[in-house]
Amino acid sequence: MLVVLNLLVLASCIQSKGNAPSLSSDDSSGGGGGTTTPAECGEGGDCRMFVTSATIINGNQGASAAAAITTLDSLCNSDSNKPSTGTYKALVASDARNPSTDWVLYPNQAYVRKNGTTPIGTTTGASVFNGTLTNAVVDIAGNYINWMTGIDIDASGNWSGSNTNNTCINFTSSSVTKYFAYGRPTTSADDHFGYNPQTLQNVHCNLSDQGDVSDEDPHILCVEQ
């Protein structure tokens, strides 16, 4: 009799275990219990890009290539145009920052304006922009601004920062004999982001000829990380 009773208890336990509800941390299928968190930049979500309100007065931004990058990144994160959330870095190229070192663009990533919705374009697998953009980072009409990038773009669409004549010697010089590459509001990716064989977009590091490219000092293009 005792053996039969034990078997009945064991069978009851097994049945209870089989009918137990599965554990779940969230149920977003309905019923008001679940929440959906938007994907973050670089993790499936769009990344934002903006142009600083502040401008630079020349191409000398630090005593070394690394120091100049630190200065420009700080400018992005303290600027009044920066969105209220996110961390940003300057989209510039030099020996200290380029597609092979400390690069700020993700591969195959969609980028949008600071409003979080207006598309700019999607990077290639090499983490650069090529071809035609959907939109410029700012409205094209009436915007005669430019931004310092130092980015050299060759005829095949490859980006680099190795041409120190287009980076004000890694953003450490304000010499009239050196230059920096710049971008401007356009849907041509090459013209939007830097110097290329077609338009030769560069300007003296001391900005002595800035009137050739804009009516004001250059800004910085900042990218969400």
Cα separation, 11 vs 181, in Å, equals: 78
Residue-wise pLDDT for 11-37, tens only, equals 444 344 343 333 333 333 344 555 677
Q: Domain 47-224: give its CATH architecture.
A: Roll (3.10)
Point out which residues pair with 110 in neighbouring strands. 122
Place 86 in a pLDDT band, splitting at 50, 70 and 90: very high
Cα separation, 162 vs 111, in Å, equals: 25
Cα separation, 102 vs 117, in Å, equals: 26
Tell me which residue of 215, 141, 210 sits closest to 182, measured CA to CA: 210
Place 207 in a pLDDT band, splitting at 50, 70 and 90: confident
What ranges do the domains of the chain cover? 47-224
Residue-wise pLDDT for 148-169, tens only, equals 999 999 999 999 999 998 999 9
